[in-house]
Each structure stands twice: as structure tokens, then as C-alpha cells.
């Protein structure tokens, strides 16, 4: 039997990158999936290439309480309940230090990455109580190890990690499990945009391969496979877990160095928060 046969998954940020890979993986595992996005064009494009009766597309902004409440209600009205809430929606901008981040930029990244979880849980908890369901948050390895020029983003991902553990304790008596996945680099549209913003953009693909000891920067399907496991009965005794899906990026010391002149000083990157010297 499929791992998620007849389960209902409420997935935010499900039209691109890791979210899109998760939507496909959940559907393949037998789930009915409500795919939430705040971008109408992205929602439409996804609908055109990936559509059937077990998929529901909803235009909603997770930072807006009314939008989330409406999306939860529409999902329940369509599918009869909710078994899984996967909080995947997120933004990574701005690519700045703390002092260079504006108040508006700071507020936006927290409203999406952290307050979005508050909204989905607040309006979805009754359905999860009934189903004894699962909450899954998409975190990031940088929430533990930091990252240069991403102060606001890393702060939100650190908050997601702590929030996941507190939620796991709060909702365990209700039979609700709460976990998070923590990728390092993953090739997504957001990461490609990030890559183009970096001062050493010409070296970024090599950099992203090298920060993973397994030797490559993966596509989102590796994260999606881990997500299917965590929301399934296979993980029924796992809660409060921040699962690295990182190819070992958090292991050991990895610093930028430069090879000698004879090798044209090729930059060898060193970690999610390394910098060229």
C-alpha cells in the first residue's frame, strides 16, 4: 500500500522547488494534496503541468491570517479533513547583513517564514486533532550553523527549529507529531536567484557542490523523499526531530582556500557560511 494512501496534505509553497517536488512525491504516495501559493502565475503554471482530482490549488499568502483560514476551510470542504500540514513556504531575501536589512525586509521574511507556521497551526489544529495528524516544517541547515549576508533568513530558520521542538512538546498529548527537515544547498528557483546575487556568482555551482561531502548539490527530490517518510506512519514514533537532508554539509571544518598560481588560484569553497580569503 502507498505510504500516504488517502491522506490529506496541506502544503504551502507547493508550486516551485522543494515544495513542488514534495507535492509530486505526496501525490505519488497516495495523498490528496492542497497546494498553496501566493503567486497566481506560478499556481497556474503548476496546475497546467500537474493536475488531477486529488489535487487542489489555492491562491493564498501564508503571512495573511484571513488567507490561511480560507485555505484551510477550502481544503477541509473539498477533502473532508487534513492529516498533514507541511509549512514549506519561505523567502530568503534579503541577502544582507543585519545592519543593512531594512525594517520592511526583516518583517517580511519573519511574516512568511515564521508567522506563516503560526497561521497554519492556528487554523488547522482542530483538523489535526481529529486526524491525530502531522506538522512538518521546512527548516534549513543555516538555522544551526549560520550564513553570511543572510542575517534575517538564518534568524527565521533558527526560530523554525526551536518552534518545531516546542510545538512537538505542546501537541504530543494530542497525538500530533511535529518535525522539520533541514536541507543545506538544494537546486531550486530560489537558490538560483540567490546564486545570481552573490559576489562570486561565477564560482557558485562549484561552491554548492563542494559544501556537501557527498560531492554534489542535489535537486529537491531528495528532500521530498525524506518528507514523505516523516509524515507517514513509518515515522510514527518520531517527533521534535530536525532532520538534516544535507549530504553531510554540517560535518567538519570546511573553509575557502585558494590553490596556487600554477592552478590559476581556483577558489575552493568551504561551507554554507565560508568566505573567500
pLDDT per residue over 64-79, tens digit each?
999 999 999 999 999 9
Residue 17 Rama label (left phi>0; alpha psi -120 to 50; beta)? left
DSSP string, 42-69: HHHHHHHHS--TTEEEEE--TT-HHHHH
Q: What is the CATH number of domain 8-187+218-251?
A: 3.40.50.720
Q: Could you read off the pLDDT of 178-227 as tens digits, one per residue? A: 999 999 989 988 778 778 877 777 788 888 899 999 999 999 999 999 99
Q: Could you read off the pLDDT of 12-58 as tens digits, one per residue? A: 999 999 999 999 999 999 999 999 999 999 999 999 999 899 999 99
**CA–CA distance, 257 with 70 (Å, rounded to integer):** 51
Phi, psi (rounded to 5 degrees) for 242: -105, 100
DSSP 181: E
pLDDT tops 70 at residue 256: no
Q: What per-residue confidence (pLDDT) applies to 60?
A: 98
Q: Is the pTM of the predicted complex or chain greater than 0.85?
A: yes
For the chain, how big is the Rg over CA atoms in Å?
19
Alpha helices in 132-214 (DSSP H): 142-145, 151-171, 189-197, 204-210
Residue 153 is a catalytic residue? yes
Catalytic residue, from 153, 171, 207, 253: name it. 153
Amino acid at each position: 500500500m502507498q505510504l500516504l494512501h488517502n491522506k490529506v496534505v496541506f502544503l504551502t509553497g507547493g508550486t516551485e522547488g522543494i515544495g513542488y517536488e514534495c507535492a509530486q512525491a505526496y501525490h505519488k504516495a497516495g495523498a490528496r494534496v492542497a497546494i498553496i501559493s501566493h503567486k497566481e502565475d506560478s499556481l497556474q503554471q503548476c496546475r497546467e503541468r500537474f493536475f488531477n482530482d486529488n489535487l487542489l490549488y489555492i491562491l493564498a499568502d501564508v503571512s495573511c491570517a484571513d488567507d490561511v483560514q480560507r485555505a484551510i476551510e477550502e481544503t477541509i470542504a473539498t477533502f473532508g479533513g487534513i492529516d498533514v500540514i507541511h509549512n514549506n513556504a519561505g523567502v530568503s531575501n534579503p541577502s544582507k547583513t543585519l545592519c543593512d536589512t531594512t525594517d520592511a525586509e526583516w518583517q517580511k521574511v519573519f511574516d512568511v517564514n515564521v508567522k506563516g507556521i503560526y497561521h497554519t497551526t492556528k487554523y488547522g489544529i482542530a483538523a489535526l486533532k481529529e486526524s491525530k495528524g502531522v506538522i512538518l516544517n521546512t527548516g534549513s541547515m543555516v538555522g544551526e550553523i549560520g550564513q553570511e549576508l543572510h542575517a534575517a533568513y538564518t534568524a527565521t530558520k533558527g526560530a523554525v527549529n526551536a518552534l518545531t521542538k516546542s510545538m512537538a512538546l505542546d501537541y504530543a498529548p494530542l497525538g500530533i507529531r511535529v518535525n522539520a527537515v533541514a536541507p543545506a544547498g538544494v537546486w531550486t528557483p530560489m537558490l538560483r536567484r540567490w546564486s545570481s546575487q552573490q559576489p562570486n556568482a561565477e564560482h557558485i555551482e562549484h561552491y554548492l557542490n563542494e559544501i556537501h561531502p557527498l560531492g554534489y548539490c542535489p535537486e529537491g527530490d531528495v528532500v521530498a523523499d525524506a518528507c514523505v517518510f516523516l509524515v507517514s506512519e513509518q515515522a510514527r514514533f518520531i517527533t521534535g526531530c530536525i532532520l538534516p537532508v544535507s549530504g553531510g554539509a554540517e560535518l567538519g571544518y570546511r573553509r575557502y582556500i585558494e590553490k596556487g598560481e600554477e592552478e590559476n588560484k581556483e577558489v575552493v569553497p568551504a561551507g554554507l557560511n565560508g568566505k573567500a580569503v
